[in-house]
Structure 1
Amino acid sequence: MTPEPVHILVVDDQVDFAKGLKRLIESEFPDVKVQVAFCGDQALTVLRRVPISLMITDLQMPAMDGMELLKRALGDSPELSAVVLTAHGTIEIAVEALKAGAYDFLTKPIEPESLFRVVAKGLERSRLLDENRQLKDQLERHKERLIGESLVMQRFKQSAAAVAQTDYNVLILGESGTGKELAAAMVRDLSPRADKPFVTVNCTAIPENLLESELFGHVKGAFSGADKDRDGLFLKADTGTILLDEIGDIPMETQAKLLRVIQGGEIRPVGSDKSRTVDVRVIASTNQDLVAKIADKTFREDLFHRLNVLTLNLPPLRERKGDIPLLARYFLKKACAELGLPDKELDPAVIGHLAAEEWSGNVRELQNTMRKLAVFGTGEMVAMDVVRMVGGNGSSMPASGGELPPFKEAKNQMIDGFSLNYIREAMDLAEGNVSKAARISGLSRVAVQNMLKRYGLSTGEFK
């Protein structure tokens, strides 16, 4: 596909001068297309029709002068790079134009070297501004991938967006529960391979004796039970991206074969003597110290360097505590939606409590806690009594006055809270029909009636 040409607009009421600038610029910048306008109104029309990267305008023009054109053009496109032309002796006007938003100025008569230098700088500025705007737009579209507005998360998202634009291998480091898989998905979604396959491999979930076959495939008869040829995950990811989650757990023998794939782009199915070429971008993630594993001879140093071309360090939740209120509200809303419950609010005391916790399990632990609060919170507002009932993040479960309730009492409270929410949900779905609620829940009709009686609920309030 031929790239769109870069457009420059030259504005000057002296027709021959404007056309001469056009010829001069296009001779030096063959990939640039120069538009010409001979007055301010013509220039504004061109700006509305054509994506102009750089505008070069004279200041002294009849009707609409260059200063008025500059203000109107920047009013419509604040990031437009604009260069003003001025005669010797009118530098003060040029300075005024710079204050009004012009990027640079040139004095007449124009030296070609000066013109080329200013044009090159202006085009580079426009290119960088356009890239930044695209990255910002992409981040906005994908902001739910990694939720957080703290400075450390803003920096991480910017790094991830920049990394995504390359085709290099990426190593994502972070503690368990920080969201490494989400970060990998974000890199893929912002990359040129976004519309190509994305395959995730949980290296810890595949038995060691099957991992090689899963990754590279096998041929019929390669081992007991291999009754037909099977494509591996690398072949399924061809032209796209593969995420090797928890790469530190891959056995040494498989590491050697993985290294050959990354180096040469070729896979050899188990039991086959033929190789197949694949084009795959590799993203690897781990919560382990790979440098320490290299020292222990449990991870290959050459594989580490192949994977560690670009590195993203995902911060733990304790380093981004300012994001906890935002995350907590998001996860609570999401849990309520998953359960089919009305939205719940968090009492300010609960938010303060959550923000003060350490969250050794990071974002995953916080999400699980919000699921518990959604299940056991019976009202519209989740208060501290619900937090005490479910045990906060699991590290403590203080009751009012700092006293711990007996285990049996706490257990019964949790069961009652769950049961009440559950039967309400079942009756809501059944629109008050006890028999239908019994079918939905798998309980007997008598059990549903007993639960309604126990919690003082009537069928009429669900119709």
Structure 2
Amino acid sequence: MNNRSATSPTNRDSLVDIVIVDDEQDFARGLARLVSGRFPEARVEAALSGAEALRLLAARKVQLMITDLRMPEMNGMQLLTEALKLDPDLSMVVLSAYGTIETAVEALHAGAYDFLTKPIEPEQLFRVVAKGLERSRLLTENNRLRQILSQQDSQGELVGEGPAMRTLRQAIGAVAQSDYTVLIRGESGTGKELAARLIHRLGGRADNPFLVVNCPAIPENLLESELFGHVRGAFTGADKAHQGLFAAAHTGTLHLDEIGDISPAVQTKLLRFLQNGEIRPVGSNESQSVDVRVIASTNRDLEASLRDNAFREDLYYRLNVLTLTLPALRERPEDIPLLAGHFLRRSCEEMGLAGKEMDAEVLQWLTARPWPGNVRELQSFIRRLAVFCTGERLDMALVRRVLEGSGQTDRPHRPVHGRPTRPMAYKEAKAEVVHAFTQDYVRNLLTLTRGNVSEAARISGLSRVALQKILARMGEQAATFRSQKGAP
């Protein structure tokens, strides 16, 4: 039987597909009608055997499959195995009657997303279907991001497809076509040097030198000499002449990183260059002309430095001809899954490892964090996950181990009472808080009961089945808690 919502040919492609598998025809069709009534955007079909379900799966993309465990010829466990071979991202839900709970839990460990017990409560069914469809949507988005990533230059591109990054790329393209001085602003770790390199690479000086100097990293008494050079005997230890970075970057680009930290003396010499295109080496009485495009960057509030007389106003206006502001990572959370996949691939390549995949739950967790260190902090965290991942997939159990090993918790993005820090829909925020509470509660409860599921069920008021399902979703087993120290 085919239960379909009425739809026009133009929106049929936007439908999601759900397949109900049960050898009892009336039950399968009744369940299909029930699901179709609650989810009108879904195309729901009833299959009366595992073989029929596999034919449907081979013919088109299916987001969710609900299958009975006990069926003739091909049972639910066999169907689970074969279906996941055809589509590893398929969300599979198994149906179990009383007495087959252990088999259902086994199915979860074999790759099923969830299980339901007969008789089925409609509201519980709807919750499981909604979560399964959301999981499918996340995995589809993850695959889309992976395709985008494979088309991008892994070394030289600003990774991201959100509105902020599209706007930034357009601005970089426009700025690169001129030869004016550029001021790049943004928090630490947002990719200011990468943006400077892109401006150089896309401009008319691409075949000429691109040099970078981190101004605060060079002692103040040496920075002037490093930038403008010196003549022999200019100061103690200057036993030979030194060219300097401006002269070395002639016809190219010089990136002055953290320009807000330079001393008044260096500010004066830099202003002279920006006004006249000339530099004067330390200890010399003669100026020399150089052709260099300057790209400066800073994470400081230069306007505040102007008010404090710590930065020259005339230099500020010379630098601030063209300005780019890089968004913080918390301002573009939609790009985090793409960035995470990018860094995971690079980390595996750097360590000579086979490619690894990231669970959808991990991507959700990464996206919910504020990342005060921005892209640089995210990259470091992904590198740690790659180092400590012994399998092919990065899951939440690995995330918790890495966090615990660095003395962190898995809730730094919820500052008070579990409240998320990024804007989100009410349902999404509530689901995130409930999810975090459930995991914390179950871990603490099983630690106190030393892995005794029956005792934990009695204390919590949950059934043993409910606790087993939660543990399976968390990737945990009760035996893990039996070796831990519980209540005295």
Query: Smaller-chain TM-score range?
Result: 0.5 to 0.7
Could you report, residue by residue, the CA deviation over 1:113-132 in whole angstroms, capped at 9, with x for unpaired residues? xxxxxxxxxxxxxxxxxxxx
Letter in 2 for 1:328: A
- In the alignment, the residues of structure 1 paired with residue 201 and residue 354 of structure 2 have an alpha-carbon distance, to the nearest angstrom, of 32
- In the alignment, the residues of structure 1 paired with residue 344 and residue 282 of structure 2 have an alpha-carbon distance, to the nearest angstrom, of 46
Letter in 2 for 1:249: D
Alignment partner for residue 363 of structure 2, among 348, 351, 355? 351
Letter in 2 for 1:402: D
1:373 corresponds to: 385
The SS at the match of 2:239 is coil
Query: Deviation at 1:403?
Result: 7.6
2:393 counterpart of 1:390: no
User: For 1:101-180, what aligned pairs fall within 5 Å after superposition?
Assistant: 144-180=156-192
Q: Does the 8 Å contact 1:203/1:249 carry over to 2? A: yes
Letter in 2 for 1:245: D
The SS at the match of 1:193 is coil
Q: Does the 8 Å contact 2:389/2:398 carry over to 1? A: yes
- In the alignment, the residues of structure 1 paired with residue 363 and residue 296 of structure 2 have an alpha-carbon distance, to the nearest angstrom, of 34
Could you report, residue by residue, the CA deviation over 1:20-76 in whole angstroms, capped at 9, with x for unpaired residues? xxxxxxxxxxxxxxxxxxxxxxxxxxxxxxxxxxxxxxxxxxxxxxxxxxxxxxxxx
- In the alignment, the residues of structure 2 paired with residue 215 and residue 231 of structure 1 have an alpha-carbon distance, to the nearest angstrom, of 9
1:34 corresponds to: none
- In the alignment, the residues of structure 2 paired with residue 247 and residue 403 of structure 1 have an alpha-carbon distance, to the nearest angstrom, of 49
- In the alignment, the residues of structure 1 paired with residue 307 and residue 190 of structure 2 have an alpha-carbon distance, to the nearest angstrom, of 26
User: For 1:95-106, what aligned pairs fall within 5 Å after superposition?
Assistant: none
Query: Deviation at 1:397?
Result: 3.9
The SS at the match of 1:204 is helix
Alignment partner for residue 402 of structure 1, among 440, 443, 447? 440
Unaligned runs of 5+ in 2: 1-150, 412-435, 445-488
Inter-CA distance 333–198: structure 2 relative to 1 (3 Å threshold)? same
The SS at the match of 1:274 is coil
- In the alignment, the residues of structure 1 paired with residue 156 and residue 398 of structure 2 have an alpha-carbon distance, to the nearest angstrom, of 27
Query: Deviation at 1:340?
Result: 1.1
1:270 corresponds to: 282
Letter in 1 for 2:389: G
Alignment partner for residue 229 of structure 2, among 208, 213, 217? 217
Unaligned runs of 5+ in 1: 1-138, 407-463
Q: Does the 8 Å contact 1:389/1:397 carry over to 2? A: no
User: For 1:252-291, what aligned pairs fall within 5 Å after superposition?
Assistant: 252-291=264-303
Query: Deviation at 1:389?
Result: 1.2
Residue-pair matches, total? 268
Query: Deviation at 1:252?
Result: 1.1
- In the alignment, the residues of structure 1 paired with residue 215 and residue 296 of structure 2 have an alpha-carbon distance, to the nearest angstrom, of 10
Identity over the aligned pairs, expressed in percent?
Answer: 59
Could you report, residue by residue, the CA deviation over 1:334-359 in whole angstroms, capped at 9, with x for unpaired residues? 01111111111101110000000000
- In the alignment, the residues of structure 1 paired with residue 245 and residue 213 of structure 2 have an alpha-carbon distance, to the nearest angstrom, of 8
Query: Deviation at 1:155?
Result: 0.5
Query: Deviation at 1:144?
Result: 4.3
Inter-CA distance 388–264: structure 2 relative to 1 (3 Å threshold)? same
2:254 corresponds to: 242
Give the alignment's Cα RMSD to 1 decimal.
2.3
- In the alignment, the residues of structure 2 paired with residue 384 and residue 336 of structure 1 have an alpha-carbon distance, to the nearest angstrom, of 19
User: For 1:190-201, what aligned pairs fall within 5 Å after superposition?
Assistant: 190-201=202-213
- In the alignment, the residues of structure 2 paired with residue 404 and residue 335 of structure 1 have an alpha-carbon distance, to the nearest angstrom, of 33
Query: Deviation at 1:142?
Result: 9.0
The SS at the match of 1:367 is helix
Letter in 1 for 2:219: P
Runs of 4 or more above 3 Å deviation: 139-144, 392-395, 397-401, 403-406
- In the alignment, the residues of structure 2 paired with residue 309 and residue 404 of structure 1 have an alpha-carbon distance, to the nearest angstrom, of 57
User: For 1:224-239, what aligned pairs fall within 5 Å after superposition?
Assistant: 224-239=236-251
2:311 counterpart of 1:299: yes
- In the alignment, the residues of structure 2 paired with residue 375 and residue 140 of structure 1 have an alpha-carbon distance, to the nearest angstrom, of 24
What TM-score comes out, normalization by structure 1 length? 0.55
Inter-CA distance 143–225: structure 2 relative to 1 (3 Å threshold)? closer
Inter-CA distance 143–223: structure 2 relative to 1 (3 Å threshold)? closer
Inter-CA distance 248–405: structure 2 relative to 1 (3 Å threshold)? farther
Inter-CA distance 256–395: structure 2 relative to 1 (3 Å threshold)? farther
1:319 corresponds to: 331
Letter in 1 for 2:244: G
Query: Deviation at 1:404?
Result: 12
Inter-CA distance 333–404: structure 2 relative to 1 (3 Å threshold)? farther
Inter-CA distance 332–206: structure 2 relative to 1 (3 Å threshold)? same
Query: Deviation at 1:396?
Result: 2.3
What TM-score comes out, normalization by structure 2 length? 0.53
The SS at the match of 1:196 is coil
Could you report, residue by residue, the CA deviation over 1:285-339 in whole angstroms, capped at 9, with x for unpaired residues? 0000101100001001100100100000101101111000000011011011111
Name which one, 1 or 2, has greater alpha-carbon Rg.
Answer: 1
